[in-house]
Structure 1
Amino acid sequence: MLTMGVADRMKIGMRKFLQRPGTTVDLRPLEKLLPDIEAREEAVQELSDAELTEAAGSAEELVEICALGREAAVRGLGQRPYDVQVVGALALLAGKVVEMATGEGKTLTAALAAFGHVRAGNGPVHVLTVNDYLARRDAEWMEPVYTLLGLTVGWVTEASTPEERREAYACDVTYVSVSEAGFDYLRDQLVTDVADRVQRGLATAIVDEADSILIDEARVPMVLAGAVPIEQDPVHQAATVVRGLKNHRDFEIADDGRSAALTSRGLATVEAALGGIDLYDEEHVGQLSAINVALHAHALLRRDVDYIVRNKTVELVDEMRGRIAQRRRWPDGLQAAVEAKEGLDASAEGEVLNTVTVQSYIALYKNVCGMTATAVYVGDQLREFFKLEVAVVAPNTPCIRKDEADRVYMTKEERDEALVAEIVKAHERGRPVLVGTLDVHASESLAKALSAEGIEANVLNAKNDHEEASIIAEAGTFGAVTVSTQMAGRGVDIRLGGSDEHDKAKVAKLGGLYVIGQGRHDSRRVDDQLRGRAGRQGDPGGSVFFVALEDELVARHAGDVLPRSPKMNFDGLITDDRVDWAIGHAQRVAEGVHHEIHRNTWRYSVVIEQQRVALAERRERVLTSTVTALMLIERVTDKTEDLDDEILDRVSRNIALFHIDRLWAEHLAYLNEVREGVHLRALGRLDPLDEFHRAAVPAFNDLIPEIEERTVATFEEIEDVENWQPEDGKLVRPSATWTYLVHDNPFGSELDRLISAVGRRIRD
């Protein structure tokens, strides 16, 4: 374990996180501009479309930008932006993360801000979304506004070709998911010809669903991988060996559910199955690692909770959104272990050629701002990791949604029985109900229970996430019952009476959309996002959460602070303020744990990112100048003096770029090995981060001279420089490359587990 000093610092940091109140930006200076903007409205309305476009091309003042943007929205969409949308756009132009309630029109707010950023000389603007669907939808939706303002707009999705990407990024404003933008950046970093790039600089990012991208996704590494020779997969053999092992007999699961270990009997069984070897002998370390990861997959990862199997592939479920985590895979062999567990072939992981975390990628933009419905809870993290402040914009129409107190029960069985009864009661009146569950399995179980009561619910989870928009759009229909994981259609409006609002008055009279949560999520933000599906733009609505003291969140983070005999009604409903406090405490601790893990991960990422940036700058010089040719002229005089400058430049550049990319890939592999083993050094009372730096910094310092040495050596081996091609010197790049995101290891590192343990001991 870590030294007491490090653990104490973690405990103090988490306690501060739990106690620190959030602070937000004062928007009154921006609100003072509203009368002037409105005063310009009449004059702007008299402009023809052509005159409006011409005026937009020379607009520089904020008042003029907002007045023209508002009029373009009226003409292009038939919508006049509310004052709160204008204030939101002004806050985005000031570089803030704007909190606006669900249904307040963040998409149009972002378009006004994008126009302003372009006019301020901060273009090109990338509007970063959470998925491809929103990128394309929002770009096409806002296109009439941009056209009237004289701007071009494009969008990028996973299916976009290189030429389509290049055209989209050439626009003034580009809508793209953060992962696709990051992948394009990584590919651009490995081009051997500037003309092959698709992006044209990272100037301004407007981050949609900012809390999700900047906090929940921040640690996620985006990876560009290359093909490597296929090696024997030891994990599949290990999966076969552990498949018959039983809990409590052959292995034991830790109390926190994040690790499993073989018992003496289990170890003997495994060693016998592997031919009677000593699994802990040094020569079998690879098999030991494979057995451990296969055991974790077998004992701890749950189908339809942590992942689903679809189209003969394992697809990971994003615990924060309940959606499929697109192009995501677990690290450290865990992905292959789960594939083996499910009887599937291992998918290629490949050699990592380049990687950047979401947080590091966002930091590359000169200007960053964002918007979401839930930013205040993560205000401190936004300040710490991005130096961004939160600005809360009041809703255009006051929220009249009725948020009830949690209904708490001792067991999940009692909770779910009461939950089904509540849904039946609302459904009998015709009131639409949206139920949020914590995972795929829970959503399907609840739908089955409702079916037994004669209610056929619309189910939305990771298995049918492609239908998300259409299902959620009808969740407000009279009599509808929708059961969803916490994805709940973020970014899609739920209109009372259905998408056509046919029965709006009837549904409103019944109290509007009724949102029910089955259990509390680790994050209050996710719960608030679910609540926010009701009460849109002043509509009536209601929300309530049904909680069981058996829920994982409560048991893990509040089990030792719950009263032994809580007060309860005859029907099993707990009515005890101490229990309500304990549940809130559990969420705050879970959020604190997440924050500390984020902070710890970022400490390691900082040095890697500094090294990546430094090498990228050197690579850029090699790509765009004659620096390598000059170096060779100095060091290999006899072979360069009679060469044509153009030939020398071409050959030297190709050689140097190959070795830069090859050595960086090797360096990343080395850093991964160091990171995996560094926590073992804490046993000797050493700080793991210091130990990581002690290994990483000298290794990188050796990289630059090694690049030069390999470049010179390769050049000296060339017999016919004038006709040389890279393949002649065996400088062959991967035959195929692909991209993916590395999902958090659900069991964390040893340090992550220590942080979680510290979190469980914290008191408010």
Structure 2
Amino acid sequence: MGLFSKVLHAGEGRKIKALESIVPHVNALEPEMERRSDDELRALTVEYRSRLDAVAPLTDPARRDDRLEALEDLLPEAFATVREAARRTLGQRHFDVQIMGGAALHLGWVSEMKTGEGKTLVATLPVYLNALAGYGVHVVTVNDYLARRDAEWMGRIYRFLGLDVGVVVPQVEDFQEKKAAYLADLTYGTNNEFGFDYLRDNMAGTLDEQVQRGHFFAIVDEVDSILVDEARTPLIISGRADDAADLYHQFARVVRGLDRDRDYEVDEAKRTVVPTEDGIGRVESALGVENLYEHVNQNFVHQLQAALRAKELFKRDVDYVVQQGEVKIVDEFTGRILEGRRWSEGLHQAVEAKEGVRIKEENQTLATITLQNYFRMYDKLAGMTGTAATEAGEFAHTYGLEVVTIPTHMPMVRDDAADLIYKGEDSKFEAVANDIAQRHEEGQPVLVGTISVEKSEKLSRILDKRGVAHSVLNAKQHESEATIVAQAGRPHSVTVATNMAGRGVDIILGGNPEGLARQDLLADGTTPDESPERYDDLVAKYGEICREEGDHVRELGGLYVLGTERHESRRIDNQLRGRSGRQGDPGESRFYLSLEDDLMRLFATGAMTWVMDRAFPDDVPLEARMVTKAIERAQRTVEDRNFEIRKDVLKYDEVMNEQRKVIYKRREQQILRGEDLRDQAFEAIERAVDRLIATHCPGEFPEDWDLDEFHRELIATFPSEFDRPALDAALHVDQLRELVADEALARYEAKEEQIGVEMLREIERRVMLSILDQHWREHLYEMDYLREGINLRAMGQRDPLAEWQREGYDMFEAMMASIEDNFVRYITRLQVVAEEPPPRKQRNLRYSSPEDPVQGSGALRAAAAGMPPPEFDGDDVGVPAAAMATSAHAGGDEEVVQQPRRVEKTPGRNEPCFCGSGKKYKFCHGR
């Protein structure tokens, strides 16, 4: 059994031992790598790729698995190469535990490494190795700053070794620049940008407009934040829908007059608001309607629900902030403002109405996917974080990822003190301020964690009154968060941070000399790039200062982390504690709690109630083991509930995911890649005939048929008169079906010969693309509407999920049938119009109906009554102009002439097949 087979098949308790066995193989190559020159080290990249090509060429997709298996043999050499390159470019050498972490990532595991263990550097090992395969590697970060920073910082290693590095962030709007970033050997970016680019690619009109090149291997930094915390929020690309600003303002005024508990009931734990009968009556009176639930007023129910949720569940400076007249969402886990993000289903508009700011138009979903389903598309997925063990079950269930905890390079010596519990929030904050002031005076740096913008600003005001200098890091100061966090380890510093804002930035005891030098240059109006010599001098100056201050801080006990409230997830609490005690440094942590905290209030147990009933002074803290255990139980309860919610979201999205895969696969492989749609057109015509017969001629014999309506529908669907006497003469439904299908297909073949094969194929692709996109958008809107009310089915003793699956399938089948019907209507209306007088034989394409007189226009037009032409445009989708007549958006003034080509005549449907089988063509090669 090979080295990596042993690792992969090791039991849970033996994984670390198995990973440790890799380290000696890498270390043994270190002397050899040190002896190589820079050019010789760089040349190894070419050598490694040549060895992979010898096993299986990159251009042979059938042997891709062989090429990937060959990476295992390269691992020790590749890791040793990266270690030496890092030492030469960054002055950093990978520790043995970092080699273990890199191997775990290569194997597709989640590597749990404590804060300060150098996860960013660890990722360079598997990224380099897998980039050698040539399929592209994605490194996913939690924000744009980290994506740019890591691409530049770690990019020095990759570029030294001859690899290309790309970055995709929202600010990169240039199409060619973004496409080049994805074509690079490795690409850094945020989870949202990768996901949105995938959706945009599947809205593109041509393959050339797509930027991504597949999903081979992704390493997700802060994997718990991205794949767990943000998994409930789908990525949505939306367009403008009907504006209902007045209605939102009206409902905002109405709900202000409603009273909680009397007019509606709120369940904060489940995040629901339900109006009572009395409340509904008051709303109806205020609106002047008799019945809120009548069909004509159906949208009122949605408006009322959104207004009530905005009023009770979404709090200013907690869930959102108002800046420059806009409502901006605050990430509940990081405290950052989520620029450009909006709540869907009218909720954002309801919050805007509540705050009295300008309401932006409600959006309609154009494309959507959850992060769960996006990242499950990768052939290999890995992640790294400081806190993953508590979510190991979810990683395994949802993503098939194993979690392995990598040992620390130095022993952890942080002192985690017991929680202090106060009766009221005010007394808790007074105690927090006293503790901060005392440590600030002694010189010990303090990092304070709060759970919301509101709480951070409240504490900031208390510290201001006491004259304690401090920095505030919350959603309103997110642009400077990296600078603030980097200096949080300096003596006397006090940093108040919302949740885990600043993740990914190390807090170095004594401060960060590079950051201080950069601040000095920026204050003087210059940058490190513009003044490199001065920058180096400042780094040297501050380096000495920071070393001395770091020693002083260690003597004081290191960084003191103070939590002002327990988060509903133990993992978030552990992340806050983990900011202290990095790389064997000393540190302390403590949480201050009150019985008025949300977690204590919403999930109070018997132990909590017992404590609340005890009579003890507000300013006297309680240290009760029973209460601490009760808090941990409450956290586990919330974690389990949130896991169930995420599993529920995944189950519902699985329906959309299967539908999305069908549409996107058909869109790319059958349409964008230029697949011949002739067979599909034949099948679509036959199925369209079958549907008409099933609707109007359901029985086997004529007495059950409605031939008058059937004939009218035939004329509406196909462009010419069908022989009515022949229909009347049919004696059986099979005879009727064959008669109509043969006639329709014969006319299609005649049109193909008349127009020209190549032109018709191009028209078919473009018409199908337009119809497919239009129907998919409408389907998403209808599915959104269905999802909004599906939970009400439980009141009728029906399983909402089963109902969602059943109705979603029915709606999808109906959409696919509608796509085919419309495709048939458009394609069968194509006509050749001869221009007079023609300089030579010219042909133009247009749509016509039996009632439509022939005109000399070259415009493509749809003839079906009330049906708009398909929305395609030659310039938009990048099809050569010579392949199309004037688009549906253009007028009839411009014409593009196509000279038809001669093609071999295809046998008629009822003629003998050309292969000599003796069968009719339609039953042989014409199927």
Please report the TM-score for the alignment, with normalisation by the length of structure 1. 0.89
Tell me the amino acid that sits aligned with residue 23 of structure 2: L
Q: Tell me, in whole angstroms, the C-alpha distance in 2 between the residues paired with 1:424 and 1:592.
A: 38
Q: Tell me, in whole angstroms, the C-alpha distance in 2 between the residues paired with 1:179 and 1:623.
A: 25
Give the 5 Å matches for 1:47-58.
Answer: 47-58=36-47
For these two proteins, the number of residue pairs brought into alignment is 713
1:647 and 2:695 equivalent?
Answer: no
SS at match of 2:311: helix
The Cα of 1:480 is off from its aligned counterpart by 0.8
Q: Tell me, in whole angstroms, the C-alpha distance in 2 between the residues paired with 1:722 and 1:51.
A: 63
Cα deviation code 1:27-57 (max 9, x no counterpart)? 2122112222112111111112121111133
Q: Tell me, in whole angstroms, the C-alpha distance in 2 between the residues paired with 1:302 and 1:257.
A: 16
Give the 5 Å matches for 1:208-219.
Answer: 208-219=221-232
Structure 2 unmatched ranges of 5 or more = 1-10, 49-72, 514-545, 684-744, 833-842, 847-857, 863-868, 877-927
Please report the TM-score for the alignment, with normalisation by the length of structure 2. 0.74
Equivalent in the alignment of 2:642: 594
In the alignment, which of 302, 325, 337 is matched to residue 350 of structure 2?
337
The Cα of 1:288 is off from its aligned counterpart by 3.2
Equivalent in the alignment of 2:149: 137
The 8 Å contact of residues 830 and 845 in structure 2, kept in 1 or not, is answered as: no
Tell me the amino acid that sits aligned with residue 622 of structure 1: I
Equivalent in the alignment of 2:29: 40
Greater shift after overlay, 429-438 or 343-352? 343-352
Give the 5 Å matches for 1:576-595.
Answer: 576-595=624-643
Q: Tell me, in whole angstroms, the C-alpha distance in 1 between the residues paired with 2:178 and 2:465.
A: 50
In the alignment, which of 770, 789, 810 is matched to residue 658 of structure 1?
770
The Cα of 1:330 is off from its aligned counterpart by 1.8
The 8 Å contact of residues 225 and 349 in structure 1, kept in 2 or not, is answered as: no
Greater shift after overlay, 650-659 or 701-710? 701-710
Equivalent in the alignment of 1:547: 593
The 8 Å contact of residues 24 and 392 in structure 1, kept in 2 or not, is answered as: no
SS at match of 1:702: helix
The 8 Å contact of residues 420 and 591 in structure 2, kept in 1 or not, is answered as: yes
SS at match of 1:26: helix
SS at match of 2:88: helix
Greater shift after overlay, 502-511 or 635-644? 635-644
1:605 and 2:653 equivalent?
Answer: yes
SS at match of 1:398: coil
Greater shift after overlay, 275-284 or 350-359? 275-284
The Cα of 1:245 is off from its aligned counterpart by 4.1
Q: Tell me, in whole angstroms, the C-alpha distance in 2 between the residues paired with 1:722 and 1:75.
A: 66
Distance 1:171 1:481, change over 3 A: same
The root-mean-square deviation of aligned C-alpha atoms, in Å, is 2.4
Give the 5 Å matches for 1:21-170.
Answer: 26-59=15-48, 60-119=73-132, 121=133, 123-160=135-172, 161-170=174-183
Structure 1 unmatched ranges of 5 or more = 1-21, 738-764
Tell me the amino acid that sits aligned with residue 403 of structure 1: D
SS at match of 1:114: helix
In the alignment, which of 659, 674, 679 is matched to residue 625 of structure 1?
674
Give the 5 Å matches for 1:10-25.
Answer: none
Q: Tell me, in whole angstroms, the C-alpha distance in 2 between the residues paired with 1:411 and 1:189.
A: 53
The Cα of 1:673 is off from its aligned counterpart by 2.1
Q: Tell me, in whole angstroms, the C-alpha distance in 2 between the residues paired with 1:568 and 1:209.
A: 43
The 8 Å contact of residues 513 and 535 in structure 1, kept in 2 or not, is answered as: yes
Tell me the amino acid that sits aligned with residue 345 of structure 2: D
The Cα of 1:632 is off from its aligned counterpart by 3.6
Tell me the amino acid that sits aligned with residue 376 of structure 2: A
Greater shift after overlay, 265-274 or 408-417? 265-274
Distance 1:262 1:670, change over 3 A: closer
Q: Tell me, in whole angstroms, the C-alpha distance in 1 between the residues paired with 2:89 and 2:794.
A: 61
The 8 Å contact of residues 227 and 372 in structure 2, kept in 1 or not, is answered as: yes
Equivalent in the alignment of 1:731: 870
Greater shift after overlay, 143-152 or 568-577? 568-577
Equivalent in the alignment of 1:325: 338
Cα deviation code 1:204-253 (max 9, x no counterpart)? 11111111111111232111223445456522221133334454665554
The 8 Å contact of residues 122 and 204 in structure 1, kept in 2 or not, is answered as: no
In the alignment, which of 804, 821, 831 is matched to residue 692 of structure 1?
804
The 8 Å contact of residues 418 and 623 in structure 2, kept in 1 or not, is answered as: no
The 8 Å contact of residues 652 and 715 in structure 1, kept in 2 or not, is answered as: yes
1:558 and 2:547 equivalent?
Answer: no
Equivalent in the alignment of 1:524: 570
Equivalent in the alignment of 1:487: 500
Equivalent in the alignment of 2:788: 676
More contact order relative to length (CA 8 Å, sep ≥ 6): 1
Tell me the amino acid that sits aligned with residue 808 of structure 2: A
Give the 5 Å matches for 1:308-319.
Answer: 308-319=321-332
Which protein shows a greater Rg?
Answer: 2
In the alignment, which of 453, 456, 473 is matched to residue 460 of structure 1?
473
SS at match of 1:627: coil
Equivalent in the alignment of 1:706: 818
SS at match of 2:483: helix
Q: Tell me, in whole angstroms, the C-alpha distance in 2 between the residues paired with 1:608 and 1:386.
A: 18
1:572 and 2:561 equivalent?
Answer: no
The 8 Å contact of residues 566 and 591 in structure 2, kept in 1 or not, is answered as: yes
Equivalent in the alignment of 2:386: 373
Cα deviation code 1:397-427 (max 9, x no counterpart)? 1111111111111221221121111111111
The 8 Å contact of residues 53 and 150 in structure 1, kept in 2 or not, is answered as: yes
The 8 Å contact of residues 445 and 560 in structure 2, kept in 1 or not, is answered as: yes
Q: Tell me, in whole angstroms, the C-alpha distance in 2 between the residues paired with 1:293 and 1:342.
A: 14
SS at match of 2:92: coil
Give the 5 Å matches for 1:216-231.
Answer: 216-228=229-241, 230=243
The Cα of 1:666 is off from its aligned counterpart by 1.8
The Cα of 1:169 is off from its aligned counterpart by 0.3
Greater shift after overlay, 275-284 or 408-417? 275-284
The Cα of 1:148 is off from its aligned counterpart by 2.1
Cα deviation code 1:284-315 (max 9, x no counterpart)? 33223312321221233210011101122111
Q: Tell me, in whole angstroms, the C-alpha distance in 1 between the residues paired with 2:334 and 2:104.
A: 27
Distance 1:23 1:449, change over 3 A: farther
Equivalent in the alignment of 1:750: none
The Cα of 1:255 is off from its aligned counterpart by 6.5
Q: Tell me, in whole angstroms, the C-alpha distance in 2 between the residues paired with 1:676 and 1:565.
A: 41
SS at match of 1:641: helix
Give the 5 Å matches for 1:285-434.
Answer: 285-434=298-447
The 8 Å contact of residues 408 and 574 in structure 1, kept in 2 or not, is answered as: yes
The Cα of 1:199 is off from its aligned counterpart by 0.8
